Amino acid sequence: MTTVIDGKAAAGDVVAKVKAAAEQLICATGVVPAIAVVIVGQDPASQVYVSSKGRKAKECGFRSIEHALAADISEGELIALLEKLNADPSIHGILVQLPLPDHIDAGKIIQTIAAEKDVDGFHFINVGKLGTGELKTAFVPCTPAGSMLLIERALGRDLSGLNAVVVGRSNIVGKPMANLLLNANATVTVAHSRTKDLAGLCRGADILVAAVGRPEMIKGDWVKRGAVVIDVGINRVGENAGGKSKLVGDVAYTEAAERAGAITPVPGGVGPMTIALLMVNTLASAYRAAGRMPPS
Ligand code: NDP
């Protein structure tokens, strides 16, 4: 029997814990966790993401401050805003919604955010901490961190001795995912567009994470029987066919579900966990700012 991993339910559990811990922090110290979300321009998808992050922050009892900036803002002006937020002790998390307009160097902007407020986990310091196993003080990128919780929930056991294959090597998903799995004692292979015999590699995976951005690329017969399959991909298909568009993952869900032991659906799998883990990171930052150990 295949288990469909319910990301919405798992995210609901995480958010409930964050909300309770935020209440405790506020009662004990008066520190209200606060996240500043910066959006540049009018990209509709970015606007949807930013408003859902703001809503979730409020649900957790946080203060959420949105800075909506014109598309033609200069890089210098954006950096000046981030430096102001870095210096503001009432702000615990800073997030710049990507992508940024072409005239702004996204890499430079990410490195401008203070590492201790980098709740996206993209700053070199946080990347380095994850790479060296300093997980207690690192901010781990939200999508892989959420995927990891789903894997642990699905397996209900230690990952030692299991083979994990991560398809995709982006800095945002693939690489941090691989590091988390390695930290958890899985034996990890990272595949990408130059990998040979991807299907064969995937067939050896007890844990298969797809973070590619190609609709239903991972076929059912690439999945080892009983494997845990985490589909990070979000692909909108059908827009040009005149029909109603829909979201699909990087895994051919129906055929993969016939072989997997547990699998995330799209939507309703990894997506809700990403935003929940952003709340976890912001809460942790607020605890640290108040001189307390973040709840585990
Ligand atoms: P990127 O485009 O940055 O990376 C894609 C990776 O897939 C690259 O490493 C690329 O290899 C690899 N790849 C591309 N084609 C193939 C192929 N044919 N065979 C093997 N590997 C291939 O994407 P992201 O990591 O940012 O995102 C991946 C997916 O996850 C997207 O669908 C995105 O929308 C989704 N996503 C979902 C989130 C969520 O909250 N659920 C959050 C973030 C992303 P190479 O490096 O060689 O080019």
Q: What's the pLDDT score for residue 167? A: 99
**Positions in the chain whose pLDDT score sits under 70:** 240-242
Q: Are 60 and 15 in contact (CB under 8 A)?
A: yes
Q: Could you give the angle at the alpha carbon of 210 between the alpha carbons of 186 and 221, nearest 5°?
A: 95
Say if residue 164 is in the same domain as residue 264.
yes
- In this structure, are 110 and 146 located in the same domain? no
* Same domain as 108, residue 205: no
Nearest CA to ligand 1 atom 34: 234
Distance 153 CA to ligand 1 centre (A): 24
Ligand 1 mean position, distance from CA 16 (Å)? 30
**Residue 47, domain member (yes or no):** yes
- Helix residue ranges per DSSP H, 164-226: 174-183, 198-203
**pLDDT for residue 123:** 98
pLDDT on residue 115: 98
Is 157 a domain residue?
yes
Residue owning the nearest CA to atom 6 of ligand 1? 168
Rounded to whole angstroms, the Cα distance separating 3 from 261 reads 6
Q: What is the pLDDT of residue 146?
A: 98
Residue from 140, 150, 170, 195 to probe ligand 1 pocket by mutation (most atoms less than 8 Å from CB): 170
> 69: helix, coil or strand?
strand
In a domain, 285, yes or no: no
Single residue among 114, 132, 154 that ends a domain in this structure: 114
Nearest to 39 by CA among 94, 85, 108, 97: 97
- pLDDT score at 240: 67
Q: Return the closest-CA partner of residue 167 out of 205, 127, 129, 220.
A: 205
Is 150 a domain residue?
A: yes
Q: Whose CA is nearest to atom 22 of ligand 1?
A: 193
φ and ψ at residue 87, rounded to 5 degrees: -85, -10
What CATH number should be reported for the domain holding residue 247?
3.40.50.720
Catalytic residues: 53, 97, 120
| Same domain as 147, residue 102 | no
Mutation to probe ligand 1, out of 14, 95, 140, 212 (largest number of atoms < 8 A from CB): 212
Count of domains forming the chain: 2
pLDDT digits (tens, 9 = 90+) for 239-270: 765 678 899 999 999 999 999 999 999 999 99
* Residue 108 and residue 146 in one domain: no
Whether the CB of 26 sits within 6 Å of ligand 1: no
| Cβ 220 vs Cβ 240: under 8 Å | no
Inside any domain, residue 254: yes
**CA nearest neighbour of 256 among 218, 206, 209, 287:** 218
State whether 79 and 154 are in the same domain: no
Annotated binding residues = 168-170, 234
pLDDT in tens, 65-120: 999 999 999 999 999 999 999 999 999 999 999 999 999 999 999 999 999 999 99
Integer distance in angstroms from the first to the last C-alpha of the chain? 32
Is the CB of 270 inside a 6 Å radius of any atom of ligand 1?
yes
- Does ligand 1 have an atom closer than 6 angstroms to the CB of 201? no
pLDDT at 241: 57
Residues 170 and 228 in one domain: yes
Partners of 207 in the beta sheet? 164, 228
245 shares a domain with 154: yes
Q: What is the pLDDT of residue 239?
A: 73
- Claim to verify: residue 51 and residue 160 sit in the same structural domain: no
Cβ atoms within 10 A of the Cβ of 295, count?
15
Q: CA 195 to CA 58: how far, in whole Å?
A: 43
Annotated binding site for NADP(+): 168-170, 234
Percent of the chain whose pLDDT exceeds 90:
97
Is the residue at 48 inside a domain? yes
- CA-nearest of 154, 258, 255, 170 to 207 is 154
Is the same domain home to 108 and 167?
A: no
Same domain for 174 and 258, yes or no, is yes
Quickly tell me which residue has 């922090």 as its tokens.
Answer: 25
Class of residue 22 by CB neighbours under 10 A (exposed 0-12, middle 13-18, buried 19+): buried
Any domain includes 229: yes
The predicted structure's pLDDT at residue 1? 87
146 and 235 within one domain? yes
Report the CATH number at residue 35. 3.40.50.10860
CA of 87 to the centre of ligand 1 (A): 34
Range of the domain at 71: 30-114
**Within a domain: 291:** no
Q: Is the CB of 232 under 6 A from ligand 1?
A: yes
Cα(177)–Cα(140) distance, integer angstroms: 9
- Write the CA distances from 6 to 85, 132, 160, integer angstroms: 36, 31, 24
C-alpha span between 35 and 57 (Å, rounded): 8
Pocket of ligand 1 contains residue 234 by CB under 6 Å: yes
**How far does the centroid of ligand 1 lie from the alpha carbon of residue 235, in Å?**
10
Q: Is residue 97 a contact partner of residue 49, using CB atoms and an 8 Å limit?
A: yes
